[in-house]
Amino acid sequence: MRLRHIPGAEERIAESCYVIHDPENHRASWSDLFGTAAPLHIEIGMGKGRFIMDMARLHPDINYIGIERYPTVLLKAIEKMEADPLPNLRFICVDARLLAESFAPGEVNRIYLNFSDPWPKDRHAKRRLTSPDFMDVYRKILDPKGHLEFKTDNRGLFDYSVTSVPASGWNFTALTYDLHHSTMGIGNVMTEYEEKFSSKGNPICKMIAVPR
């Protein structure tokens, strides 16, 4: 992924009150940061933040953490938060491989993966966010009664995930290859990419999985 660098992005992120710069210090105590003992949902690779901001707006009784490792992309989400602050949403800039350092076992109630980088080359399979290595990380932080939701328009990545997710010790509770024409699409909240791709007629795939 090649992103255009925005001068001063790192400095603005460092100064933002919406970014938690020491997430490891809030491990097992995120409810204290938000000031309420609410369920905790996270989106890994949130992009510009539309999905998670809409979710936080729709569900004020849930606390949300948006995770984005690329500063240039994270800055876009910060700008949206500055225009429309949400008390139940914060951002962190970390690699998803290190999430167990930021969240305690069972602390997260739901995980969202939306339109993740497909990493189409076989040699890059371990970088896919539904690869066994990442699924093992998610298992460490997810509440046993929680679940993971994954959406993509990339059929190759979805087909890979249909195999890799159960091979990692997870079960599907729902799965569709055409979200917007299935009952799974009821109440669906779209991302920027989803709106763009679906408007071109691309079917959106979705799975919901729980750890065994």
Name the residues annotated as catalytic: 117
Is 10 marked as binding a ligand?
A: no
Is 194 marked as binding a ligand?
A: yes
Distance between the two ends of the chain, CA-based, in angstroms?
Answer: 33
Is 136 marked as binding a ligand?
A: no
Buried b (16+ CB within 10 A) or exposed e, 140-170: ebbeeebbbbbbbbbeebbebbbebbeebeb
Is 117 marked as binding a ligand?
A: yes
Is 143 marked as binding a ligand?
A: no
- Residue 183 structure tokens: 């009952």
171: left (phi over 0), alpha (psi -120 to 50) or beta: beta
Q: How far is CA 37 from CA 9, 32, 106, in A?
A: 32, 8, 14
Is 24 marked as binding a ligand?
A: no
Is 54 marked as binding a ligand?
A: no
- The amino acid sitting at 66 is G
Is 193 marked as binding a ligand?
A: yes
Is 36 marked as binding a ligand?
A: no
Is 176 marked as binding a ligand?
A: no
Virtual torsion, Cα 129, 132, 136, 142, nearest 10 deg = 50
Angstrom distance (rounded) from CA 96 to CA 113 = 11
Binding-site entries for substrate: 121, 153, 191-194
Binding-site entries: 43, 68, 95, 117, 121, 153, 191-194
Binding-site entries for S-adenosyl-L-methionine: 43, 68, 95, 117
